[in-house]
Amino acid sequence: MEKTYQPEQIEIRWYERWEADGRFAPSGEGEPFSIMIPPPNVTGSLHMGHAFQDTIMDTLTRWKRMQGRNTLWQVGTDHAGIATQMLVERKVAAEEGKTRHDLGREAFIDKVWEWKHESGDHITRQLRRMGASVDWSRERFTMDEGFYKAVQEVFVCLHEEGLIYRGKRLVNWDPTLHTAISDLEVENRDQQGSFWHFRYPLADGVTTDDGKDYLVVATTRPETLLGDTGVAVNPADPRYASLVGKFIELPLVGRRIPIVADEHADMEKGSGCVKITPAHDFNDYEVGKRQDHMLINVFSKDAAILERAEVYNFKGQPQPDVDPTLPAMYAGLDRFEARKQIVADMDALGLLEQVEAVNNTLPYGDRSGDVIEPLLTDQWFVAVESLAKPAIEAVENGDIQFVPKNYENMYFAWMRDLQDWCISRQLWWGHRIPAWYDAEGNIFVARTEQEAREKHGLGADVTLTQDEDVLDTWFSSGLWTFGTLGWPEKTPELETFHPSSVLVTGFDIIFFWVARMIMLTLKFTDEVPFKTVYVHGLVRDAQGQKMSKSKGNVIDPIDLIDGIEIETLVEKRTGNMMQPQKAKAIAKATRQEFDGGIEAHGTDALRFTFLSQATTGRDIKFDMSRLDGYRNFCNKLWNASRYVLMNAEGEDCGAEFDNDKSSEVELSLADRWIISQLQKTEAQVTKAMEEYRFDHASQALYEFVWNEYCDWYLELSKPVLWDAEANDAAKRGTRRTLVRVLEAILRLAHPMMPYISEEIWQRVAPMAGTFKGTNDSIMVQPWPQAEQAKVDEQATLDIEWLKGVIIAVRNIRAEMNIVPGKPLDVMLAKGRPEDQSRLESNRLFLSKLAKLESVTWLANPDDAPLCATQLVGEMEVLVPMADLIDKDVELKRLVKEIDKQDKLIGGIEKKLGNEGFLAKAPEAVVEKERGKLKDFQAARKLLLEQHEKIQAL
RNA sequence: AGGACCAUAGCUCAGUUGGUUAGAGCGCCACGUUGACAUCGUGGAGGUCGGCGGUUCAAAUCCGCCUGGUCCUACCA
């Protein structure tokens, strides 16, 4: 073995080997366990969030596989409608100077497929680097033929049931992308805005009670004035009671609009009068509906002012009787231009009463960054109410459980206030909506045009055109758990692996995806999509900032694995930016944070870091120093293995002797102890994994490997192995323990650190007798199970004693500035009989580990010469110091120690002096305190004696 | 405005049903390298558990209020 751990030499090799050996496919045996990967964007690349998520999924998958479950980790990607289309549009623009419209729909779609083929395996390659044990043979893409079939089936069925409908409704419209987006794709940002107060003249010579001939309405969006259909006042507002039923003459437009009473108007706010614009505001839409107003749309798809308004009733029917005339001077003006102009014109008319500065929030499209406009358009919707009910129940009754549990509240809150879901998108890349129209605009929904004709008896003479729009990507990913398994066919995979066992996902897409999956899956399979939802937090940068390309603080997980030069990193972060003006600052910050670039750490160290930070659903600040630390841990494990191999390879490791009582194999105290500790660790790690506490699982492993196996057991093995006089059975016992415990460690580690564990296991397993032929792999070994019978409490106590004495001697060395290598003569005094017997049976270990010349039991403590002392329980560890002792230093140390004991004693005495405590605390607690008091007092007494002795010098 | 979550060592975080001498890693200080590992070893310093109040014999842990932070939902006519 190499002297240091070098991940790059082993990782790719092992992944290729596993894949070639078909290790990732379900075994076909055992109780099924399945995880469906949240499909990443097919043309995307792996970011830290993916890497984190994939680590968790792979750890669960490998763990369950080792537990003998029939394990499927289903892999695949989604087509990411808007994101991919935008990317290809930009690419086409850059390369050919053309828009998608120049190319036409078909040619453009070809371009997207080309791009998919070109870049589509990037993310899957990265998944492989992460060690993901996904079943590549079952890889799915949402735009695959088979998956499309599932999408059509669902659409048609829902439509037949009346749960999908088409309607003219207000949607969040992205004027840049020219498509509807869901409210989840809208980002609300705070900003400084203006609040314009306008005077709306009363028609027909009417005046207010206080004699004014106008009402004041305020708005943050003056340009919508053109679409006003009325002014609302609160029905209980005495100020305007006399005006209800009267009219306003809408300025600039000249339209007569009614004053209506509606509870939407808040008497406390502003003047108490609200302008109503049903076609441009979600609240006003509701008011307009109640008041039987028209919908007057004044915006084009670009959010520019129309020449003539479009007028509809609330059924979406055009209203030719309403005069659609709009002022000519605004026609074609962009909404923000129009706003300026309208404000200026109102001012000129003396109708601008005041402009107030306000803090408000504005909706932005998370893709385009443009301000979202509520716009009246024809869209397809899913009526979610009847779907939501069972979806809520599934979580309420525990069929689906969230981990951590508090996310269930977030889910309920959203589900109980659900709007119908707009599923059509005005894009080209996606699942085309399976609906056809005849010349009159009649709608025929079917799986194919052929079916549409047959179903509705349409002759060949009827021209049908398919709906131009595509479906929201989340509509198709909502079918992911069962669509990937072959639905609507009744496949054996569907039978076996659905419902899936766990969904691992970020909280940010609970609404987007999780909720919709639950609704659609229950509807179409009568099963939940998954039994558990493990929700993890966001991976943030070291400062706690969200990682984003525009901030220039993203880290490519692959760069943490392979390392990256600083110049390459700067280039990567500042190249191809949307906002190039930020490049300089980003370069500077990057150079500051990653001075010498990033070193290679390997996949296992990265995975272990993620796991150790995976606490209960909170965000994680990615910490480079922890990554360093876990790479060191890999190295530690590597070197411990090196030691084991050096001492065991080619030697008799007793693999064939299974009976520990056999005279052929003799186990030392240390052997029994480490075996005992291993059982506890196995139990701990398993429990932690069951509870999704990967931080606890990784920590339990780390502590056992480093602080017990390496720090103590390996050291304790040396005296046995290097003792020329030790018998063969003892050596065999120690070698066997070294090897078997290491082999178990590797199996415990494997789900978390697949590569290093496999690499070492290949060398260790043959000696441990667990290797079954040349093609064997740790991936299919049984998960370690704690055996209660091997827990040896006596051995634990004995080793604790031994460690205590060794540490006491080390302490004395440090206190007295004695070099670590100098052999010492040590005496043990006071204490109990078992202390003496422990000394006799551990003399060898003690001498070697504490580097002692001699160690003797002092029957009469008064015989002790002048010594430095330490306490182990009630026993004193004495190192004769003769004239070497520094009186002042030692006195000071003792005083400090005595003070410490005094404080402890004081605390307990106070407790025990409290009658309430004695009366009400459980007896066991009281007893424990009494015991502690006794110990502390005994320690204090010894320290005091020692102090007096030295004082007397 | 409503809600959720968070606040523990210089940093990143654990701390299960109240009873621990409040822990880990990293960092820091001192010492140390012939026999697995300097990606290391040994020893050490460092915390009034955000603040105030309450419940209790006992609070980092339970309750209330406050402060600071993150996020979500709503509103902003």
Angle A707-A708-A713 from CA coordinates, rounded to 5°: 130
- pLDDT > 70? residue A882: no
The residue assigned the tokens 């490998």 is A62
Nucleotide nearest A691, CA–C1', reads: B16
* A325: DSSP letter: B
- Cβ neighbors of A409 (< 8 A, separation 6 or more) are none
The residue assigned the tokens 């590597």 is A638
A404 CA to B16 C1' in angstroms comes to 14
pLDDT band per the 50, 70, 90 thresholds, residue A562: very high
Q: Using only C-alpha atoms, what is the Rg of chain A?
A: 38
pLDDT band per the 50, 70, 90 thresholds, residue A884: low
Percent of chain A past pLDDT 70, that is, above it, reads 99
Q: How many domains does chain A have?
A: 4
Tell me if A680 sits within 8 A of A784, measured CB to CB.
Answer: no
Q: How far is CA A222 from the centre of its chain?
A: 43
- pLDDT > 80? residue A656: no
Bases of chain B with protein Cβ within 7 A: 3-6, 11-15, 19, 21, 24-27, 30-33, 35-44, 56-58, 70-77
Higher per-residue pLDDT: A128 or A120 = A128
pLDDT value at residue A559:
94
Angle A813-A819-A825 from CA coordinates, rounded to 5°: 60
pLDDT value at residue A83:
86
pLDDT digits 0-9 by tens, A503-524: 999 888 877 889 999 999 999 9
CATH of the domain at A503: 3.40.50.620
Helix (H, G, I), strand (E, B) or coil at A363: strand
pLDDT value at residue A635:
95
A614 CA to B9 C1' in angstroms comes to 21
Q: Which residue is nearest to nucleotide B71 (CA to C1')?
A: A508
Mean pLDDT of A321-334: 88
How many helices (H) and strands (E) in chain A?
31, 31
Nucleotide nearest A273, CA–C1', reads: B77
CATH of the domain at A775: 1.10.730.10
Q: Which residues pair with A181 in a beta bridge?
A: A172
A149 CA to B46 C1' in angstroms comes to 64
The domain boundary residue, chosen from A742, A765, A791: A791
The answer on A923 and A808 residing in a single domain is yes
Nucleotide nearest A647, CA–C1', reads: B36
The answer on A179 and A123 residing in a single domain is no
pLDDT value at residue A728:
84
Helix (H, G, I), strand (E, B) or coil at A433: coil
pLDDT value at residue A669:
93
Nucleotide nearest A706, CA–C1', reads: B37
The residue assigned the tokens 């301000």 is A371
The answer on A318 and A195 residing in a single domain is yes
The answer on A517 and A392 residing in a single domain is yes
A878 CA to B11 C1' in angstroms comes to 39
> Side chain identity at A400, as an amino acid letter?
I
Q: Which residue is nearest to nucleotide B12 (CA to C1')?
A: A623
The secondary structure element, H or E, covering residue A924 is helix A923-951
Which segments within A107-163 are labelled E, that is strand?
140-141
Pick from A394-408, A447-461, A575-589, A729-743: least confident? A575-589
The answer on A857 and A756 residing in a single domain is no
The answer on A659 and A767 residing in a single domain is yes
Tell me if A940 sits within 8 A of A902, measured CB to CB.
Answer: yes
Q: Has A98 been labeled as part of a binding site?
A: no
User: Is residue A361 domain-resident?
Assistant: yes
A425 CA to B60 C1' in angstroms comes to 52
**Which among A635, A551, A537, A538 has a CA at the least distance from the CA of A593?**
A551
Q: Which residue is nearest to nucleotide B42 (CA to C1')?
A: A810
The predicted model scores a pTM of 0.92
pLDDT value at residue A448:
92
User: Is residue A15 domain-resident?
Assistant: no
A512 CA to B22 C1' in angstroms comes to 41
User: Is residue A168 domain-resident?
Assistant: no
Backbone dihedral region for residue A773 (phi beyond 0: left; psi -120 to 50: alpha; all else: beta): left
Nucleotide nearest A197, CA–C1', reads: B77
Q: Which tokens in the block code for residue A940?
A: 């204090």
Q: How far is CA A442 from the centre of its chain?
A: 46
User: Is residue A408 domain-resident?
Assistant: yes
Nucleotide nearest A926, CA–C1', reads: B19
Mean pLDDT of A651-669: 72
The residue assigned the tokens 């939501």 is A388
Pick from A67-76, A778-787, A818-827: least confident? A818-827
- pLDDT > 80? residue A890: no
A675 CA to B9 C1' in angstroms comes to 34
Q: How far is CA A304 from the centre of its chain?
A: 41
The answer on A100 and A245 residing in a single domain is no
pLDDT value at residue A883:
59
pLDDT value at residue A657:
64
User: Is residue A460 domain-resident?
Assistant: no
pLDDT band per the 50, 70, 90 thresholds, residue A37: very high
pLDDT value at residue A56:
95
Percent of chain A past pLDDT 90, that is, above it, reads 53
Domain membership of residue A331 as a residue range: 174-374
**Which among A850, A841, A772 has a CA at the least distance from the CA of A809?**
A850
A875 CA to B27 C1' in angstroms comes to 36
CATH of the domain at A827: 1.10.287.380
A643 CA to B36 C1' in angstroms comes to 4
Average pLDDT, chain A: 90
Q: Determine the Cα–Cα distance for residues A597 and A565; give it in Å rounded to an integer.
A: 5
Q: Which residue is nearest to nucleotide B40 (CA to C1')?
A: A636
**Which among A342, A355, A326 has a CA at the least distance from the CA of A218?**
A355
- pLDDT > 80? residue A241: yes
Nucleotide nearest A621, CA–C1', reads: B12
The answer on A864 and A775 residing in a single domain is no
User: End-to-end CA distance of chain A, in Å?
Assistant: 56
pLDDT value at residue A550:
80
CATH of the domain at A277: 3.90.740.10
User: Is residue A760 domain-resident?
Assistant: yes
The dihedrals phi and psi of A295, each to the nearest 5 degrees, come to: -105, 115
pLDDT value at residue A660:
52
Higher per-residue pLDDT: A853 or A157 = A157
A569 CA to B8 C1' in angstroms comes to 36
Nucleotide nearest A710, CA–C1', reads: B36
pLDDT value at residue A868:
83
pLDDT value at residue A483:
94
Q: Which residue is nearest to nucleotide B44 (CA to C1')?
A: A814
Q: Which residue is nearest to nucleotide B15 (CA to C1')?
A: A696
pLDDT digits 0-9 by tens, A383-408: 988 999 999 999 988 899 998 888 88
A569 CA to B27 C1' in angstroms comes to 25
User: Is residue A468 domain-resident?
Assistant: no
Mean pLDDT of A187-206: 86
**Which among A248, A223, A225, A244 has a CA at the least distance from the CA of A234?**
A244
The domain boundary residue, chosen from A536, A552, A570: A536
User: Is residue A249 domain-resident?
Assistant: yes
Helix (H, G, I), strand (E, B) or coil at A142: coil
Mean pLDDT of A693-700: 94
- pLDDT > 90? residue A764: yes
The answer on A253 and A367 residing in a single domain is yes
The answer on A787 and A673 residing in a single domain is yes
The answer on A216 and A325 residing in a single domain is yes
pLDDT digits 0-9 by tens, A242-300: 888 999 999 888 889 999 998 888 888 788 889 999 999 988 998 998 888 999 999 99
The domain boundary residue, chosen from A791, A822, A853: A791
pLDDT value at residue A569:
93
Q: Which residue is nearest to nucleotide B32 (CA to C1')?
A: A820
- pLDDT > 90? residue A471: yes
Nucleotide nearest A544, CA–C1', reads: B70
The answer on A343 and A288 residing in a single domain is yes
* A272: DSSP letter: S
Q: Determine the Cα–Cα distance for residues A753 and A607; give it in Å rounded to an integer.
A: 7
pLDDT digits 0-9 by tens, A584-630: 888 988 888 888 899 999 999 999 999 999 887 778 888 888 999 99
Q: Which residue is nearest to nucleotide B37 (CA to C1')?
A: A639
